[in-house]
Amino acid sequence: MIISGKFFYKNNIFEGCIVVEDGVIVDIRKSVDSNEVVNFPRGLILPAGIDVHVHFRDFEERYKETIESGSLSALHGGICLIVDQPNTKPPIVDDKTYIERIKKAEKTTFIDYSLNLGLTEGNARKISEILSRIEEIANVPAIGEVFLQHRTMQVSYETLKAVRNEIDKLITVHAEDASLIPEESVRPKEAEIVAVRRCIEFGDFYFCHISTPEALEMIHRSKSFAEVTPHHLLLSAGKIEFERVNPPLRSENDRIELLKNFSKADVIASDHAPHTIEDKREGAPGFPGVETIYPLMLNLVRKRVISLRDLVERIVVNPAKIFGFKGYSGIEIGNYANFAMFDLSDVRKIKAEDLHSKAGWTPYEGFDAIFPKTVFIRGIKALEDGEVLVDRGFGHICMTKTRMT
Ligand code: NCD
């Protein structure tokens, strides 16, 4: 297959041809002498996105989301690979549950899938053993998201430090200090700032969903990595219904400051945390977001709030490098042909009824966004004009050493 058009290549927009064989980019050049060229004259071809922080629920919380519905939602938003989080019911804290989850994903995911391994006080002493048993079959991208405050999965600084010293793997941390959270619903900025400060004193980490400019600056000056989310960049406290999320939305000033410093973050991820409206009414924290992350951020590129290069680095290149996803780091010879094709002039208002998560609502109702027209995953056209062209189970378990089934 040969695709021609304008695409993002080596930090610039390049007009030419991408030659794909067996799902992999084998050549990139100005022109090709062939009649079999697929032409995208109007749009911009970007690498499909990676969302390294999603909660696809399933298991006992199928009513909120499943791997199938979450991955379908991701595909509609131009995402080709996700990292699922282990705070499921039951949680993924042992090899048996991990493998069970991977097998389920292999049968049901629309896009490529990978899964973190959870850390708790209960499994910390055996974490190396559990990891090596899983890694006989599948590669674990990271330990995490590790909670420093959580009803059932809370880990102390001491345990986190011991695990940091013991293993070499990436550890992703939800940094909010439990002692500074007086009650579940009150989570001051200090809780994040103090937790980040304490962690970087004893190790290098990947910090999830950083919400304060102060913590972002600290991480930027360290060897650790910072993830930011669209909700902390676009929404502020006291403005929307069902605003509860961990860490919370901050003041408008903090939001603006965080957005100004977008280039200091290493990764943007959605923290897709789907809850039904009924659960939100009862106070469940979290927002759906895997389908809207790329479309919302691309609209910020259109409005020249952020640069295309800063976005592609944080939604494709850096996640691939930091998590070790070989072949996923963008449009380059040797990488998978994972493309999301956008028409930048087709700006649409986000409407919950158009989205595909089981959550059934969005905090971005009415926001401008640019959704992909076409998505290719490993050289296969998976979505075009809203129509899904692949079946459940099309996605691969990323970096799987052996097929599961
Ligand atoms: C997360 C969820 O619902 O899984 N919610 C959220 O607000 N980010 C869990 C969490 O990080 O507390």
Question: How far apart are the C-alpha atoms of 89 and 215, rounded to whole Å?
Answer: 30
Q: What is the pLDDT of residue 405?
A: 40
Q: Is 245 in the pocket of ligand 1 (CB under 6 A)?
A: yes
Question: How far apart are the C-alpha atoms of 138 and 97, rounded to whole Å?
Answer: 13
What spacing in Å lies between the alpha carbon of 286 and ligand 1's midpoint? Answer: 5
What spacing in Å lies between the alpha carbon of 55 and ligand 1's midpoint? Answer: 8
What is the residue with the minimal CA distance to atom 12 of ligand 1? 246
Q: Is 271 in the pocket of ligand 1 (CB under 6 A)?
A: yes
Q: Is 231 in the pocket of ligand 1 (CB under 6 A)?
A: no
In this predicted model, what pLDDT tens digit does every residue of 298-313 receive, in sequence order? Answer: 999 999 999 999 999 9
Q: Which two tokens stand for residue 154?
A: 């809370």
pLDDT at 373 over 70: yes
In this predicted model, what pLDDT tens digit does every residue of 229-266 receive, in sequence order? Answer: 999 999 999 999 999 999 999 999 999 999 999 999 99
Q: What are phi and psi of 378, to 5 degrees?
A: 45, 45
Q: What is the pLDDT of residue 8?
A: 97
Cα 45 to chain centroid distance, Å, stands at: 20
Question: What is the bridge-based pairing of β-strands 37-47 and 2-9?
Answer: parallel
What spacing in Å lies between the alpha carbon of 334 and ligand 1's midpoint? Answer: 36
Q: What is the pLDDT of residue 402?
A: 47
Contact 145, 209 (CB under 8 A): no
Q: Is 55 in the pocket of ligand 1 (CB under 6 A)?
A: yes
Mean pLDDT for all residues in the chain: 96
Q: Name every residue whose Cβ is closer than 8 Å to that of residue 38 and which is 6 or more positions away in sequence.
A: 1, 2, 3, 4
Q: 403 falls in which pLDDT band (50, 70, 90)?
A: very low
Please give the helix or strand (H or E) that residue 94 lies within, else none. Answer: none
Q: Is 172 in the pocket of ligand 1 (CB under 6 A)?
A: no
Helix (H, G, I), strand (E, B) or coil at 156: coil
Q: What is the pLDDT of residue 401?
A: 52
In this predicted model, what pLDDT tens digit does every residue of 35-45 receive, in sequence order? Answer: 788 888 789 99
Q: Which two tokens stand for residue 87?
A: 């705070």
In this predicted model, what pLDDT tens digit does every residue of 123-178 receive, in sequence order? Answer: 999 999 999 999 998 999 999 999 999 999 999 999 999 999 999 999 999 999 99
Query: What is the arithmetic mean of pLDDT over 48-57?
Result: 98
Q: Name every residue whose Cβ is closer than 8 Å to that of residue 216 and which is 6 or more positions away in sequence.
A: 210, 226, 228, 258, 261, 264, 265
In this predicted model, what pLDDT tens digit does every residue of 6-26 receive, in sequence order? Answer: 999 999 999 999 999 999 999
Question: 204 catalytic, yes or no?
Answer: no
Question: How far apart are the C-alpha atoms of 141 and 209, rounded to whole Å?
Answer: 17
Q: What domains can you pick out in the chain, each with its CATH number? A: 2-46+335-388 (2.30.40.10), 48-323 (3.20.20.140)
pLDDT at 404 over 60: no
pLDDT at 183 over 80: yes
For residue 313, what is the DSSP state? I
Cα 25 to chain centroid distance, Å, stands at: 23
Counting residues of the chain whose pLDDT is more than 90, the rounded percentage is: 93
Q: Name every residue whose Cβ is closer than 8 Å to that of residue 279 and which is 6 or more positions away in sequence.
A: 64
